[in-house]
Amino acid sequence: MTIARLAAVILVSLFVNEVSFAQVLYYHGQLKDADDEPVTEADVEFRVQIRTPGADSCVIFEEIRHLDLSKAGNFTIPINDGTVTPTYGGPVLTMPQLLRNSGSITFSDGTKCESGTSMPFVYTPAAHDPRKLAIAFKKPDGGWESFPDEKIDATPFAVDSSSVGGVTPASLLRVDATAALANTTPLSN
């Protein structure tokens, strides 16, 4: 069994267009073997999961990627960029939906939970719930090997700033305190 060491940095990049707010999480690293040498396989499979916090540890997102590490074992995984079909039993969600700490998400029978939670599973995050980022890899000649889970907890606050309590900017009214007061017609009846 290969023992891997990983020096990784998680970066969040935001891509905004006129129609919607989309977000991709990038995971960067270098895969090394037990002798501290880069793994230089041409086809390494990576399983990326985002899981709920706590003992349930249910998969709320999963995708499988095949990466070429022949250049010094370095890799970048764009998580949930839309180019790979998710491989779990839940709904297809955007990164803001996965990390938002409001509302709830219902998952079907295909969702995997560490605790054997019964399905369907409804995840209702608390105000400060982190998520777990679980990365595993598999070389063509071996089984899955996992990196330690990483906690994602600052990102949801930035994601929530794309809306106010779930209300998008198109549905908000801005009041200009420097304008003169005047009578207006009602916004709704």
Indicate the helix (H) or strand (E) that contains 5.
strand 5-6
Residue 106 has pLDDT above 70, yes or no: yes
The closest of 90, 42, 41 to 63, measured between CA atoms, is 90
**Cα–Cα dist 93/97, whole Å:** 6
- What pLDDT is attached to residue 160? 52
Amino acid at 38: P
Please state, rounded to an integer, the average pLDDT across all residues of the chain.
75
- What pLDDT is attached to residue 20? 41
* Omega of the bond leading into 38 within 30 degrees of 0 (cis): no
What is the model's pTM?
Answer: 0.70
CA dihedral sign of residues 48, 86, 22, 46: positive
- What pLDDT is attached to residue 132? 92
**Cα–Cα dist 134/156, whole Å:** 17
- What pLDDT is attached to residue 100? 82
- What pLDDT is attached to residue 179? 72
pLDDT digits (tens, 9 = 90+) for 10-68: 333 333 333 344 478 888 889 988 899 998 988 899 999 999 888 888 888 889 999 99
Residue 187 has pLDDT above 90, yes or no: no
